[in-house]
Structure 1
Amino acid sequence: MIHGIGTDVCDVRRIRVSLERHGERFARKILSDGELAVWQARSKRWPERGLRFLATRFSAKEAFSKAVGLGLRMPMTWRLCEIANLPSGKPVIVLHGGLKEWFEKQGLTAHVTVTDETDYAASFVVVEKKEN
């Protein structure tokens, strides 16, 4: 059964301005440790890919927070929600700490997709409640 659906469209230019203004501190606020390592590697080699990576993660976390119905309030935090990729490239949501505990206690599972195109990144999340 569907518990919630969330979507988000993020202006990559807005992320660029925040990154220019706050530097890596901005990325550290948004990204988990695993995501931060990927962002740093991509940014070093291809700055635009790093920027788009950050924008898609920002967008996916916003969409997830909407789908679970919490918005950005506890136990939902930027760093406890990680958007990782399977070896196939498929994006998946990996939760940590109190958010993971809360999510599992609710009996929820999540599906995510992300995309980016020039000036925008977009994400769509479906959260399901496990049937008993």
Structure 2
Amino acid sequence: MSDLCRVLMIGHLSRDLQRRRRDDGVIYGVSTLCAARTLLVAGHPVVATTRLTLEVVGAARVASVAQQFGAGSRVLVEGHLELREATGIERLPLADGTGEVLVRVPRRELVLVVATIFNADPPLPTAEAQRQPAQVWWDEAA
């Protein structure tokens, strides 16, 4: 049996989808999903935010998602996780302070590759539904 790595997350997009192109010509979009939760630490509420990189693959899907969702949109995302390895370059100062040296640093990043994305905001009631009196299941005369 093969392993299953499916993820469902609800969160807010922290930035608009950025369109990019890989070396093999595949177009993809990148954004960041932020999911916050409140924890109690020593009796005080602390908000813990988790940031996860999203990747939408395919030119048509990137255009559709970019048109529907922007920064701050609350979305429900389904997809799978991939561990990406890359090499970054950092500038480090020399010990004697005379200059800098460039150092290659291996980096790992967990990426959520999007299969489906939905609007997670609850629908607003229509004006007609707001005018209707609330229906109750109990007898108000009692």
With structure 2 as the length reference, what TM-score do the two structures score? Answer: 0.29
Between structures 1 and 2, the one with greater helix share: 1
Q: Which has the higher contact order (CA 8 A, sep 6+)?
A: 1
Structure 1 or 2, whichever has the larger Rg, is 2
State the TM-score, normalized to the length of structure 1. Answer: 0.31
More strand by share: 2
